[in-house]
Amino acid sequence: MLFIADANVFVPMVDGLRDMGHDVFDVKEKGLENLSDPEIFRPAQKERRILVTMDKDFSNILLYPPGEHHGIIVVKLYRLKVADTTGLFQGSN
């Protein structure tokens, strides 16, 4: 699958997705961590990538209606460790 990782996504999560064989564009690696939400969203849609973020603004279905994009995963860790959260992705492979 094709993913784009927002600036707030932890490196182990990006690495975990890549270890599973996914193509992940990490905005931090490209020096694009200061892009606005629309500036992240537009290229994700153009490249048909699923956006992975910890930014709850992307969970607003009025701004980002389901079915009108290629996917948004809003990650909330709460009390999980990053390694545990990365393991959750493995279940979806």
Averaged pLDDT, groups of 10, the chain, 93 residues long: 94 91 94 89 93 93 91 81 60 49
pLDDT of residue 46: 94
Query: 32-42 as b/e, with b when 16 or more CB fall inside 10 Å?
Result: beeeebeebbe
For 67, the domain range is: 2-90
Q: For the chain, how many structural domains are there in total?
A: 1
pLDDT of residue 87: 59
pTM of the predicted structure, to 2 decimals? 0.80
